[in-house]
Chain A
Amino acid sequence: MEHTLQAAAHATGPLPTHAAGYLWLIPFLPLVGAVINATMGARLQRRFGKGLVHVIGVGTVALSFVVACIAFVQMWGLPPEHRFLQNTVWNAFTAGKVSVDLGFALDPLSMMMALAVTFISALIHVFSIGYMADEPSYWRFFAYMNLFVFSMLLLVMGDNFVLMFFGWEGVGLCSYLLIAFWYTDPQKAAAGMKAFITNRFGDFGFVVGVFLLFWALGGAWQQAPDGKTKYVETDAHAAAYVAAARGEGQGVPHVEIGPTLNFRLLRDQIVNTDTGVAEKLKAQKMFGFGILGVIGILLFVGAMGKSAQLPLHVWLPDAMAGPTPVSALIHAATMVTAGVYMVARLNFLFALSATAMGWVALIGALTALFAASIGFFQYDIKKVLAYSTVSQLGFMFIGVGVGAYWAGAYHLLTHAFFKATLFLCSGSVILACHHEQDMRKMGGLGKPMPITRWTYLVACFAIAGFPWASGFYSKDEILWKAFTQEGLKFLGMPMPYLGQLIYLIGIVAATGTSFYMFRSYYMTFSGEYRGHGHRHLPKESPLSITLVLVALATGAVLAAVIGIPYAWTGHAPLLEHWLEPALPAIVHFAEKSHATEYLFQLIGVSVGVIGWVAARALYKDGRSQVPARLLLRWKRAWTVVYNKYYVDEIYQATILRGSVGFARLCSWFDKYIIDGLVNLAGAIARVAAELDGAIDRYIVDGAVNLVAGATLAAGRGLRRLQTGRIQTYLYGALAGAIAIVFLNFLLK
């Protein structure tokens, strides 16, 4: 492609930053809301009703959106390569080479995320007013939601790994709290714990990755005896650089070197080739593997946990136990995209290692296909959406994996809009059907609920990739970039066709996406209402819900504007242009003609249509008998897929059983081997003791008995002193101490 990201990469100097002293307000405001509702919410609710609680909850998030908009305006006014707002509040701690600031930074990428997070969560907060109206602990819900927004903004805006990790854990915690919101139901509480524990596995990888990165950055520099920092290897660049850092040379701008946790500093070190950091990292090995690959894979393990990628995806479908606004906010729009954001944030690092890129893209592609196939046969409407989320996250990872970072970020944005729409529509449907989630008991809801129906349909078109809605632009850009990426490696081995393979997997998954989404649409909204168990027919939801649906669906369509591809207009897409300064990685794609690109876009649209037509033929109005017949024919395969490929059961059998088995093994070892040794030693000792005892009994005892008799007599006499009360002893001890002090004075 002719408009690669070269331009930004040529900026060799440190990134210019601009102070913006108000940035801390963006995460701080939701925190204030959370604290107020958490500490005083119960009282406020009793005193002033639920109105005040949600005014605080929604108001703080909306205000933080306004502040984010102000930041956006400021950033818009700056020249592109200067778009970096920094607000360091104070130095959190410094210990040796680790220095961590409580600092917030916005570059175009985090700006996009901050706007999306605050905007969508403000809307979802509004939706919750209607959805949670009957909930007694209303205040608790809003406190958790605000806390979640705070953690997410910390994750997005923190300017170093520590703050990001803080937010990373914070969203995990809030996710646990909100999934288990109705904690009296053991199943829901268990779902919360499952999410938490699965996330821990991922977080462990993330932390180890960060440590390893820190270590790798520091290893080759040494403190010279004269106190100056020196590069150990005799690298011409580095020598020139060190000279410049000391202010001797000229032309090489000053970048601080050495281990760092700060994103901007890391970016400067790696992007600026004069520092030699990039070469050093590339050359460094650990156990024969390139250390960059190991770091990338470990960091991605963290992303796998948070973003529900194979094989750590198991928690996300279970997370649907939480209230629907939670599913929309956390498990569709924001938290699960944290992994994608992290990879995009560290694009300069991942781009250095083809191994890490190939790993990310391959896992993404496999997840996309795997989750889409499970989505085919689910009956719970929220489960369908959950697997669809897992699958779409897979697409995002294909994007950031093959090096199309802006496309991954763009899909993140469009997905946030259409998936939030879908989830909130499903919430509206669930509310109307009296908390029924089984699509077999729905149907015919299109007539009584027109707004929900149309917004759901719009979002379906968006996710299936029809060219008038946003999903098409992001998904096709990702798949096209995957096809033209030929430099990927798999665990160190070059595989030029890995990109094409990923494209193929992706296109099959896209067909599946279109099929199961329209299946859910037809099962829910067409035909006759099948839920006859209830007396009332479903009716449209209140205004606070429908308004949000319309706003989000509009967003899902309009987001298309910022991603119209280069081949159509001759200009880079708006969003790509906007994100350019934040994505300095240089990634090469194969050159292909525009005709080929058009052909691939045609394929993309046609697979969407195929899925739509198939779903329409099979599920419209619920009349067709074909699904039932197919089901009978492929019963065995269906059972395997319906039970989610038994992944949960496999975990149960391997990891849980395994750890219990290991514990048993240890116990056995302890009982028979260790105890046996001890008994042997005991037996030897006993024989020796028998001998010794014979001597003892006749010679020593006589003497001992004499002493013992004397001691006993003395003890009888002295026992009266022992009152058994500590207090008495203490008086004695202190009296002694005081006496010694006085004696000291007297003797002087």
Chain B
Amino acid sequence: MNTQFAIFVFLALATLIGAASVALSRNIFWSAMGLLSCLVGVGGLYVMLSADFVAITQLLVYIGGVLVLILFAIMLTSQIQEISVSNRSVGLVGGYLIFFVVSTLLSFVALWAPWRLTSKEPVANTTVALGDGLLGTWLLPFEIASVLLVATLVGAIVIARKEVKSDS
């Protein structure tokens, strides 16, 4: 168990340090790097929760997709030289206050609430189970999610494209 706990501590630290640098770093590029560390850490935590498929999806979608998208947005919206100045923080006092209140409260709930734990063993082959589930029990949400993705795709293109005046 000890190795497992050590790995957990390592992953949790990677997650939280990454998250802290997202919230506090002066340089937005470092914030993005912090987000990378945080996402990888969360992916590792998924593995510890024996959710390997979700972990892989986390890596693929978040790091392969969202993070790259964010980096693109950073590059496109700021002159590279000015990155360091374009990440000001305001209202830090209020921010810290709300951070401490929210996280202590939630941690308190997490530690003291009487959770009704299950005795079931985790599913071993999650890919098969998830595949069955997505095309069985959760087919409707699955289809709705696909419609949503199409809408998103079209919407993002429409919003982001430059308006071209056609001559005809």
Interface: B87 (CB within 8 A): no
Query: Interface residues of B toward A: which range?
Result: 10 to 19
Q: Which residue of B is nearest A735, CB measured?
A: B98
Q: What residue in chain A is nearest B94 (Cβ atoms)?
A: A731
Which residue from B91, B94, B105, B127 sits with its C-beta under 8 Å from A95? Answer: B127
Contacts of A94 in B (CB 8 A): 125
Cβ of B93 under 8 Å from chain A: no
A738 touching B101, Cβ below 8 Å: yes
Would A727 and B109 count as touching, CB distance under 8 A? no
Q: Smallest distance from the beta carbon of B43 to chain A beta carbons, Å?
A: 16
B73-131 residues with Cβ-Cβ distance < 8 A to A are: 91, 94, 98, 101-102, 105, 109, 125, 127-128, 131
**CB nearest to B90 among chain A residues:** A727
**Contact A734/B109 with A95-B127, A96-B127 known, Cβ cut-off 8 Å:** no
**B109, A741: Cβ atoms under 8 Å?**
yes
Q: Which residue on chain A has the smallest CB distance to residue B95? A: A727
Residues of A with C-beta under 8 A to B101: 738
The residues of B that contact A731 with a CB separation of less than 8 Å are: 94, 98
Docked complex Cα distance between A738 and B127 (Å): 38
Distance between A91 CB and nearest chain B CB, rounded to angstroms: 13
The answer to whether A95 and B109 touch across the interface, beta carbons within 8 angstroms, is: no
The answer to whether A741 touches B105, judged by C-beta atoms less than 8 angstroms apart, is yes
Nearest CB on B from A733, distance (A): 11
* Interface pair B128/A95, CB less than 8 Å apart: yes
Given A96, A727, A738, which contacts B105 in the complex, CB threshold below 8 Å? A738
Q: Which residues of A contact B128 (CB under 8 A)?
A: 95-96
Residue from B91, B102, B125, B131 within 8 A of A727 (CB atoms)? B91
Shortest Cβ distance from A381 into chain B, in angstroms? 45
**What count of chain A residues pass the 8 Å CB interface test?**
8
Contact indicator A96/B131 (Cβ below 8 Å): yes
Q: Which of A54-102 contact B (CB under 8 A)?
A: 94-96
Q: Are A738 and B125 CB-contacts (below 8 A) given A96-B131, A727-B91, A731-B94? A: no
Bound state CA distance, A437 and B128, in angstroms?
A: 58
> Which residues of chain B from 123 to 143 have any CB-CB distance to chain A below 8 Å in the complex?
125, 127-128, 131
In the assembly, what is the distance between CA of A577 and CA of B98, in Å?
Answer: 79
Q: What is the CA–CA distance of A390 and B94 in the complex, to the nearest angstrom?
A: 72
Q: How far is the CA of A731 from the CA of B93 in the complex (A)?
A: 13
**Chain A, range 712-743, C-beta contacts under 8 Å to B:** 727, 731, 734, 738, 741
Residue of B nearest to A95 (CB): B127
Shortest C-beta distance, A602 to chain B (Å), equals 62
> B52's closest neighbor in chain A, by CB?
A93
Residue of B nearest to A93 (CB): B127
User: Is A738 within 8 A of B102, CB to CB?
Assistant: yes
Residues of the A chain whose Cβ atoms lie less than 8 Å from the Cβ of B98: 731, 734
Q: Shortest distance in angstroms between A630's beta carbon and chain B's nearest beta carbon?
A: 56
* Residue-wise interface mask of B (124-168) relative to A, using a CB-CB cutoff of 8 A (1 in contact, 0 not): 010110010000000000000000000000000000000000000
In the docked arrangement, what's the CA distance between A13 and B128, Å? 32
A493 to B109 Cα, complex, angstroms: 76
Q: Which of A686-729 contact B (CB under 8 A)?
A: 727
Complexed CA–CA distance, A177 and B102 (Å): 52
Contacts of B91 in A (CB 8 A): 727
Q: Which residues of B contact A738 (CB under 8 A)?
A: 101-102, 105
Within 8 A of B (CB), among A94-118: 94-96
Q: When the two chains form the complex, which single residue of A95, A96, A734 contacts B102, counting CB atoms closer than 8 Å?
A: A734
A-B contact pairs, 14 of them (CB 8 A): A94-B125, A95-B128, A96-B127, A96-B128, A96-B131, A727-B91, A731-B98, A734-B98, A734-B102, A738-B101, A738-B102, A738-B105, A741-B105, A741-B109
- A residues near B (Cβ < 8 Å) are 94-96, 727, 731, 734, 738, 741
Known A731-B98, A738-B105; further 9 A-B contacts with Cβ < 8 A: A95-B127, A96-B127, A96-B128, A731-B94, A734-B98, A734-B102, A738-B101, A738-B102, A741-B105
